[in-house]
Structure 1
């Protein structure tokens, strides 16, 4: 059965986006730097980081996305976060499905229904979670299964806190991998 996996880059001070997110800077001021590890592929740690990214891409069967992440991320992604893939946007405002420029489709639904539909769409793969507020809602509802954190050696000072006000027990899975970011994996205790 598909698992819901939060895969997120976060600064040492706990921010998953910088301050002042807006259409021209969807990750906020300085926030794009949190993802440099996934795209550079350079240096001795480049292969390790590239391997982490390839593993994620291979296991994703669908995505579940917060409304704000959808609104800010669609233009930089060029459509859905992964081409030709179903992405479910959690929102209280339903609307018609949206065929994206890259062959994927966005579906709009409430939290539990979006989770159910995303798991069905993922088949034998997993569902990746995008958005800090969505991750918090999934944790509170007991629906999030796994947390993959890419800890980036950067201090943002302010921005979007990843787990603001949420409590959960996370159980380490495997050893940390250190590249340009330190890659950590946890199972959510239920």
Structure 2
């Protein structure tokens, strides 16, 4: 069975989005620069493109927060990866929503969403989108791995990654240097998980 993996771009000062996240700027002011590496351009673009392809190949399901869903639905035109089932962590459940790109959004609580996503992903990984839901999964002992794309950018303020959670992380392989530094860590379990 696959892992539950937070795969996120983060600024050097620890932010996953810029300040003032809003519908017109879903990544906050300046936050979209965190994802420029995904285009695979520039002198180290081949490394970045390879990392992006690897991430895309291993995603079998997605867990995301309600705010990420609300802000991203229009941008994605459906689920974040076409045809891939996505599970929205929320207290405001509703009927499933079929995205324009063939994927389905299901709405559930944290533990149920993680369990359902792992079942749907099979041997592939569950990718986590959203700093708040990642923090909740880490605190609940449901996050297996953290994959960071460390961007040489200082945002000054914005959405912090993990916001006070504590965990022990073990490096998984050597860092890869492209236009950003790609790092992977296994999360050491603090307690047994329900998934």
Per the alignment, residue 192 of structure 2 pairs with none
Per the alignment, residue 162 of structure 2 pairs with 163
Per the alignment, residue 174 of structure 2 pairs with 175
Q: Helix, strand or coil: the match of 2:146? A: strand
Query: Aligned partners of 1:125, 1:176: CA distance in 2, in Å?
Result: 22
Query: Aligned partners of 1:77, 1:124: CA distance in 2, in Å?
Result: 25
Per the alignment, residue 106 of structure 1 pairs with 105
Per the alignment, residue 16 of structure 1 pairs with 16
Aligned residues: 189
Root-mean-square deviation over aligned CA pairs:
0.6
2:136 is the counterpart of 1:117: no
CA offset at residue 43 of structure 1? Answer: 2.2
Residues 13-61 of structure 1 show CA distances to partners (whole Å, capped at 9, x for unaligned) of: 000000011111100000100000012x222210000000000000000
Q: Helix, strand or coil: the match of 2:46? A: helix
TM-score, length-normalised on structure 2?
0.96
Per the alignment, residue 70 of structure 1 pairs with 69
Per the alignment, residue 193 of structure 2 pairs with none
Map 1:19-168 to 2 at 5 A: 19-39=19-39, 41-168=40-167
Query: Aligned partners of 2:123, 2:16: CA distance in 1, in Å?
Result: 28
Q: Helix, strand or coil: the match of 1:138? A: helix
Query: Aligned partners of 2:183, 2:78: CA distance in 1, in Å?
Result: 28
Query: Aligned partners of 1:15, 1:156: CA distance in 2, in Å?
Result: 7
Q: Which runs of 4+ in 1 moved over 6 A?
A: none
Q: Helix, strand or coil: the match of 2:75? A: helix
Residues 73-132 of structure 1 show CA distances to partners (whole Å, capped at 9, x for unaligned) of: 111111100001100000011101001111111000000100110011101111000000
TM-score, length-normalised on structure 1?
0.98
CA offset at residue 176 of structure 1? Answer: 0.6
Q: Which runs of 5+ in 1 are unaligned?
A: none
Q: Which moved more, 1:145-154 or 1:76-85?
A: 76-85
